A and B are shown apart, each in its own frame.
Chain A
């Protein structure tokens, strides 16, 4: 027995999922399903594509056309699916490592093309599936099993990265602010162009333990206390913004969409039906 939302959108026999106790991914996956249901999308036409890692097990649980690809390559697979059949509403689920480390090249190029793909980054600042290595979004000086002396890397701001690359909808939400996250995902899906939602998740098992961030509840409280909506932030004095991070909508523009532009070429030059 489950809620209607779960029964309508999930493969019941595949649940419960494999994520650890207190992992934020389940919350984000449910928020995605809620957004899809709120938009009333035709399930036949929704295709969810993922790479490799904890996040990327999500499509296996969701009752749509689902494709679990290779590490870092979800966006490239998704580009093929979308261009081949532009009628499909293509959503990519990926992790911070999956999309911004090994998948970085595909991330910036998919954004540059502004192809109608919605990317949800389950961003937990760590490589969870492989046991807690630091990732491109692990904050400097934090720890991972491969940063035993503290991470000397500087982290990506994935939102700024894809904004600079050409994405037309960019936003960030968190596993704590779930209703806002659902609204953001709805707008991201509705945007005809490359949309990215940096969904901040929590990883108590590795990132939490390795960095003494406490229990799942404490990590959720951190999200609650440290996230500031970008609209509110403008009115706050600098000292109020110290070691906070911004959520909400950063970019919402309209640019020519890749598959629409290509279909114009076909319409113009196609001879044989």
Chain B
């Protein structure tokens, strides 16, 4: 992983997640899973920080913190 992504950290806002399963289904490396209808990290090591989960989360309940747009 190049250093630009190294500082990013996957964050979950559990109270906003409505368990729609979109992030889990479209994560290319199966990092995520639903636990009692909330998104949870199954295997963080596989996360490539691609951000597809944040991109398609309808409820803003998962995102990469520390991405370059942090001012």
Give A contacts to B, CB under 8 Å.
1-6, 10, 15-17, 19-27, 30, 37, 175-176, 178-179, 204, 215-217, 220-221
Contact = CB atoms under 8 A, between A and B. Distances in A.
A187 B13 CA distance: 31
A199 B25 CA distance: 21
Contacts of A19: 58
A26 B21 contact: no
Interface residues of B, number: 26
Interface in B1-27: 11, 13, 15-16, 18-22, 25-26
Interface of B: 11, 13, 15-16, 18-22, 25-26, 54-61, 63-65, 67, 69-71
A27 B57 contact: yes
Contacts of B67: 3-4
Contact of B21 (A3, A176, A216): A216
Given A2-B13, A2-B63, A27-B56, A217 B70 contact: no
A17 B59 contact: yes
A25 B59 CA distance: 9
A6 B69 contact: no
Which of B20, B70, B71 is most buried by chain A, counting CB atoms within 10 A of its CB?
A: B20
Which of B16, B18, B71: most chain A Cβ within 10 A? B18
B22 A220 contact: yes
Nearest to A204: B20
